[in-house]
Each structure stands twice: as structure tokens, then as C-alpha cells.
Chain A
Amino acid sequence: GAVVSQHPSRVICKSGTSVKIECRSLDFQATTMFWYRQFPKKSLMLMATSNEGSKATYEQGVEKDKFLINHASLTLSTLTVTSAHPEDSSFYICSARAVSGRGEQYFGPGTRLTVT
């Protein structure tokens, strides 16, 4: 099956610093990638949708200047959490939709961010 990777899997950063999370589709091309966040014991919440070569579309209530998304190629999207604060600590999960086929969507393993 199609594989989506995320790097890093875990990151701890200090309050006020920025953190970049990478999402790669390893064996397929993805025109669209999605970023979710998940708090403990809660469901996944869609943050934004990014299309290769264009600006991301953010869901209501998600600050685009805080969560910078870049989708520079058909296999790579990055999420940068700027000026991170403890309340940004969460599990961030990316997902990629294949160009080919019927638009199947595959998920990465997630990145655990802890802001101290």
C-alpha cells in the first residue's frame, strides 16, 4: 500500500521557537495534502488543505500565520508551527491524496509535539 512518512516522529521545543514537520508521500504523487491535529482522547481535527504549488486553505479558527504550510512538490508538504506555545502541544498528522486512482487518501504516522 501507499506510504506516507512524517519527520520528526517526536519533537520537544521551547516556548517561542518554531518547529517544522515534514510530510512525504514515498511511493506516489499527491496533489493534495491535509494536516490534522489531535489532542489526547479526542478525534482528529482538520487544520488545513494544501495543494501543490498554491496556498493552503485553512479551516475556520486555524491561524494561518501561526501554522505555515508549504506544499512545494508532489511528494512533500511541510507544516511550521511558529512561536510555539505549550497549548500547541499536540499530535500532528498529515495525509496525502493520490493523483492517480480514485483519490485514495493515506495518513502518516503522526508527529508528537511537546512545547515546554
Chain B
Amino acid sequence: DAKTTQPPSMDCAEGRAANLPCNHSTISGNEYVYWYRQIHSQGPQYIIHGLKNNETNEMASLIITEDRKSSTLILPHATLRDTAVYYCIVRPIYNQGGKLIFGQGTELSVKP
């Protein structure tokens, strides 16, 4: 079973920041938080991952709370092409048996 909880859908205006929340209250110390997104009829695309520090890359920022029980993915300037389903996943990174188990994700609609 997925170990994360996300809102099923969100809307965002084009050009504004999209803030996607994720709850992972049962996360353990050796588990990372991963974010992937899936644009319609394509394979999932890696966005970002983190352990406890905030992370930023060219696509997004990841803010993880101090207790690590929740996180927020931030797309700073959403475009229409960011419309997709966003998945928040926790898994141990160094465990070769670790699997990416997808929950229901958040369907983000970016509107003009």
C-alpha cells in the first residue's frame, strides 16, 4: 500500500506557483520522499527527491517539514505543460529491493 496521502486534484493559474502537499506520517528514518509526475498517456517523469533538507532543482523545490511527516512540492511558475498527475512516494534509497509504489496522486490542472 502507498504510504502517502495527497489531495486528488488541484487547480493552478498559469504563471503562479503550484504548491502540492503530501502527507507521509509513517515515514521511517531511512526513507526518502520522491516526486514523480505523469503527463497523460506517458511514462512517469522523475522530478525531485529528498531526505530531510529542502531540495531545489531546475524543475521544482521540495520542502520537507522538520518532523518529516509531510512535504510540499513547489512548481514556482506553473505552465500549461505542467498539467499532469503528481505522485509523492516514499522508499528507502539504498535498499535494492525497494520498490516505487504509486498512490493515487494529485491531478494538477494549470489553467490559462
Contact = CB atoms under 8 A, between A and B. Distances in A.
Contacts of A95: 43-44, 100
Interface of A is mostly: strand
A3 to B, nearest CB: 11
Contact of B42 (A32, A102, A106, A110): A110
A9 B104 CA distance: 24
A93 B59 CA distance: 23
A65 to B, nearest CB: 22
Contacts of B45: 107
Contact of A108 (B43, B99, B105): B43
A107 B41 contact: no
Contacts of A106: 46
A104 interface: yes
B96 A46 contact: no
B13 interface: no
Contacts of B80: none
B103 interface: yes
B94 A46 contact: no
A103 B98 CA distance: 10
Contacts of A112: 41
B104 A34 contact: no
A49 interface: yes
A46 B46 contact: no
Contact of A102 (B93, B97, B100): B93
Contacts of B94: 102-103
Interface of B: 36, 38, 41-46, 85, 87, 93-94, 96-105
